[in-house]
Structure 1
């Protein structure tokens, strides 16, 4: 019923699958939309209605951040914590006599698609549209008028600003429902919603730094490294000499194991022969853990604390003599 109320207007034909749903639409249109010229009919085919009309592909497009325009341009939609960014790109759009004409035509073509995507995705809050720069005053006013006209039948309240000197137009839209990403998607387990993960080179560099650090403090011992196969392959192909150098310098042994259940940017580096899966730590939380029953760590911390106060006392002494 909400879909009929928000998206269906006069001149639109609604095709309903299922007799119960069809009867519900008929009763709602009769009672709540009195005087409406909305047309509706029952779908009687054996093929699923979304498959028959090719709706599944259109639904999949709603999860993409790029929307192609008919003449070769595109929209790039990015959702952030505070606002929604929509970038208009000309792409391969050509055929006009000048850059100014191409920019104007692309912006005008993007306006109805912006309105359509905002409604279908349920975007709300502060929305910033980065149009292609236009120098002519009348072109800017024409695009402003067109976008206001495109949102004329929007059920949500929309407030517009003007296109500024940088080609940015800001408008706010009332939130009437959650957006499609909030309802139908979950945060990526690998990137944690950022959209990108660290490269193998960066992850391996962190592993080698941690290995050198703990090898310096725990010489003549063996360590176990467990990581994703892509990270292990990068170590073998590109950092084999570096690992050998660290092993020789500190007289340690590094045993490497693969665990593809780990995230790509997660590894565990532990001392000893048995690797416990409970010790896995993400890269941002230092990425390694040392378990040792000896008191070497306590002794080293006491030495470091004594050296710290000795250095501080000497610096004060020398500064007073100067």
Structure 2
């Protein structure tokens, strides 16, 4: 399967698109003013303990307090037992108290009115491995199905851990030797070296970390895995030093930005092209892949065409379609996708498709096409949580089985964890998709005040960025002395206030003045760029 990654970078935001066989499959957006928190490590302070919810709220230095459940505080072994119903969860008051300082990691971004979700089970990812500092277990991704390959990867990591253990023991011996020498020194020197004693002890840890081998490691050599393990070991040491010297609440480890994180976590080794339209980000990507994924170096290209990168691949139009509730199928059928607070509902309809043979065959073909289409929409729109799919009722069990199998195959390339149930007696399929960041609609849109929050419109910020892109596109395509932008008062105010620095930067870049005029009759999503 031909896969391409497109990365569009502006001073305000970074957008990444995953293209498979010419079709947009996934969309990532990270804005400079609101970067994602997943993977960040904080020193937090407990501000409230809730025994009734077996949870606590933690101040990590952000506007909204974060949420920590009791199951995310316990040692890994005890948590596994709780999931198997062998023991009961200890009372949250036995684990935490108000004012306590604790090291936590974000596992789910702030979504809607909810704060970030936290865990004390820290994980630090690299290209091939995920380090678990507090869990010595070695695991292998379930997506690697070959048992021989799974065992090979385990053996490599086991040998790497043995080498690390030997190094730690050697280092510990040197420390003990230095400490014993300090005991024989004169009293004044004893006090000086005693002050170093704690520092020396703090730099050595008897705990050996565990690892999870990621899917990308399939087929990787010993040197690549050892290099990853060494890198993670050094990174964890630096994080520990920051934790010791920090005062809660504060950030002690900030995960990579979107472009580098995408290369590390999501890009398969067989990707054909990674195109980026920024010189600075292109240089960063080349340096990153040279260190961690040398095989991808030849795939990273700098795009310098006249047309905007996303326009060349029709990505802008696909994003626009992904914000609509109706999805048209090639056969003439369609999907209706509704995202609510409780769940996502997807309704399948035959629409204009009348079939060729009989009703059951028409329904079966529509449901098969809908299975592939809705799997793509879940990835593209980043819809998660509980998903209810209302397929058209099928009578034959074999048809139901084939529709489910088609849906499962379509979701195999989805990086988010999914679970699908059987078709119910009502023709419904229940499934779950792991959600750890905002959906595309919630990121780009807001509730519409005109219809009393029953729908949504694009935010003023989103419209401002569309205007920036349109101005940049017009400057490349046409000659003009100056530009006049017609938009709503709210959009104009934002352009001249919050976005003023970016506006000045754009005017300097295109060498032409840009003027704004508020139009009272325009809707928030409506704007025009006039060439003068």
Assess same fold via TM > 0.5: yes
Distance (Å, rounded) in 2 between the aligned partners of 1:190 and 1:65: 18
Quick check: 1:107 aligned with 2:387? no
Change (3 A) 1:35 1:165: farther
Matched, 1:176 2:423: no
For residue 71 of structure 1, report the CA deviation from its aligned partner: 1.3
**Match among 310, 313, 330 for residue 70 of structure 1:** 330
Deviation at 1:53, TM superposition (A): 2.7
Contact 1:89 1:132 in 2 (8 A): yes
The counterpart of 1:21, out of the listed 260, 269, 281, is 281
Q: How far does the alpha carbon of each residue in 1:193-229 deviate from its partner, in whole angstroms, 9 at most, with x for none? A: 2139xxxxxxxxxxxxxxxxxxxxxxxxxxxxxxxxx
Distance 1:50 1:92, change over 3 A: same
| TM-score normalised according to structure 1 size | 0.56
Task: Say if 1:11 and 1:37, in contact at 8 Å, map to a contact too.
Answer: no
2:368–2:403: 8 Å Cα contact kept in structure 1? yes
Q: Does 1:96 align with 2:356?
A: yes
Q: CA deviation at 1:135?
A: 0.6
Residues 85, 129 of structure 1: 8 Å contact kept:
yes
Relative to structure 1, the CA distance from residue 55 to residue 169 in structure 2 (aligned partners, 3 Å threshold; closer, same or farther) is: same
Deviation, structure 1 residue 21: 2.2
Q: Distance in 1 between matches of 2:405 and 2:352?
A: 26
Structure 1 residue 3: Cα displacement: 4.2
Mark the CA change 1:152 to 1:170 in structure 2 (over 3 Å): closer, same or farther: same
> Number of matched residues?
198
Question: 1:79 aligned to 2:316?
Answer: no
1:318 is matched with none
Mapping 1:1-322, distance limit 5 Å: 1=259, 2-4=261-263, 8-9=267-268, 10-33=270-293, 39-195=299-455
Deviation at 1:14, TM superposition (A): 2.6
Q: Secondary structure at the match of 1:161?
A: strand
Q: Which runs of 5+ in 1 are unaligned?
A: 197-259, 262-322
Greater per-residue helix proportion: 1
SS in 2 for 1:15: strand
Contact kept, 8 Å, 2:289 with 2:297, in 1: the verdict is: no
Contact 2:387 2:432 in 1 (8 A): yes
CA RMSD, 1 decimal: 2.5
**Whose strand proportion is higher, 1 or 2?**
2
Q: What is the TM-score with the length of structure 2 in the denominator?
A: 0.35
